[in-house]
Amino acid sequence: MILQNQKHLFNLTEDVTYLNIAALSPSFQTIEEAGIKAVKKKSQPHQIPISDFFEPVVELKKLFAKLIDVDDHNRIANIPSVSYGLSTVANNIKLNQGDEILVVEGQFPSNYYVWESLAKQYNAKVKVVQAPVTKHDQGLLWNQAILAAITDRTAVIAISNIHWSNGTIFNLKDISKKAKLHQALLIIDGSQSIGALPFSTNEIQPDAVICAGYKWLFGPYGCGYAYFGAYFDNGIPIEENWSNRLGSENFAGLTNYESEYKPLANRYSVGEHGSFIYVQMQIAALKQILAWTPKAIQNYCQHITQDAVISLKALGCEIEDASHRAHHLFGIKLPESINLDALKKTLKDQSIFVSYRGQFVRVSCHLYNTKEDFTKLINAITTMIETD
């Protein structure tokens, strides 16, 4: 059964066609309320108990652990950004000269620069698996090329589960199997799919999963999540903050300096991650996502986009085949005849919001969108062709 449209839970106005959650999600009402309540609490700081520094964070970690199918919430850390999480990962990896770090073409910069820098440090190499240049089966061939690129020289594979600009799905299960065969670490950036596409850490067995919180997880900008597997159990965090040490709940004893961290990934959480406002908003967001379920969100997105994709292709647009891409985010390569600047202006004038990433018009949708939103986009593109 397809979920009902959920626009009534959001404050998006009727005149706006928002096809851009991949850039920034809108809050729904319970998130907004949780945030406002927390903002107001700050005006009465004496009503914020010491337990508020810790207990909501544990609740939040449990929710995220459930979302990505992790058994122990102590494997989750709270991070402010993907770049922070990936720096933590990279700082705990030692390479040999000539080792390879595998990435894919056009990867998000926070998941590229860090590897370029690590490779430089060890005289290793970033190997970029290019997207095959073809109009058909690009996703299939790209996945094959990624698997073929994993060899004994591969030390790290840093990849997302979908490509952030065109929605190509990377087959993480097969990539993980081959990574293990060659003792390569698998580091996943889940920012553009976790929350909207089912993801199981237990099934994929990655070494780390890093995820921005402000897109498909509906959190405020500046909050994110990280899962760290056993490889990182005894690693070094990029900062030393008091709350990550054992027994930090005892404020009177904080200067009995403690050498032990809290268990597993807790050492990697950012300072002040107990952020009273953000954490309450994040909890409200994750509860709702778990109630909807990523599977149902994905099915809904497929339901509202499948006809639109057929129409767009009929107009001459190129879109990855449905079997190799996500339904909540995909890239549209426009026919060459379309003047992109003119289209940008038309969409802006009609309050249709999308992203422009590389050679793609990236559209992304959620439960507040409808088939009609895509009809508006198609009509706008059609006028561009007609006026050409």
Ligand X SMILES: Cc1ncc(COP(=O)(O)O)c(C=O)c1O
82 or 209: whose CB is closer to ligand X?
A: 82
In the complex with ligand X, the residue whose CB is nearer, 111 or 176, is 111
Cβ at position 162, least distance to ligand X in Å: 9
Q: Are 353 and 15 in contact (CB under 8 A)?
A: no
The secondary structure of residue 42, as a DSSP letter, is T
Smaller CB distance to ligand X: residue 192 or 248? 192
- Nearer of residues 88 and 248 to ligand X, judged by Cβ: 88
> Going by DSSP bridges, is the β-strand pair 355-357/352-353 parallel, antiparallel, or unpaired?
unpaired
Q: How far is the CB of 85 from ligand X (least distance, A)?
A: 8
Among residues 276, 275, 165, 285, the alpha carbon closest in space to that of 216 is found at: 285
Give burial (CB, 10 Å; 0-12/13-18/19+) of 46: exposed
State the residue for tokens 């030393």.
240
Minimal distance, residue 194 CB to ligand X, in Å: 11
What type of residue is 333? K
**Which of residues 195 and 261 has its CB atom nearest to ligand X in the complex?**
195
Q: Please list, in sequence order, all residues whose beta carbon lies within 8 angstroms of the beta carbon of residue 81, skipping any fewer than 6 positions away.
A: 110, 212, 222, 224
Minimum distance from CB of 227 to ligand X (Å)? 15
Return the residue matching tokens 């967001």.
285
Least distance (Å) between residue 229 CB and ligand X? 19
CB of 111 to ligand X, least distance (A): 6
Measured from the CB of residue 167, what is the shortest distance to ligand X in angstroms? 11
Q: Which is nearer to ligand X, 166 or 266 (CB)?
A: 166
Closer to ligand X at the Cβ: 20 or 305? Answer: 20
Alpha carbon 201 to its chain centroid, in Å, reads 14
Question: Which amino acid is located at 325 in the chain?
Answer: R
The amino acid at residue 182 is H
For residue 330, give the 3-state DSSP assignment: strand
Q: Interface residues with ligand X (CB under 6 A)? A: 81-83, 108, 110-111, 160, 164, 189, 191-192, 212
Beta-bridge mates of residue 185:
156
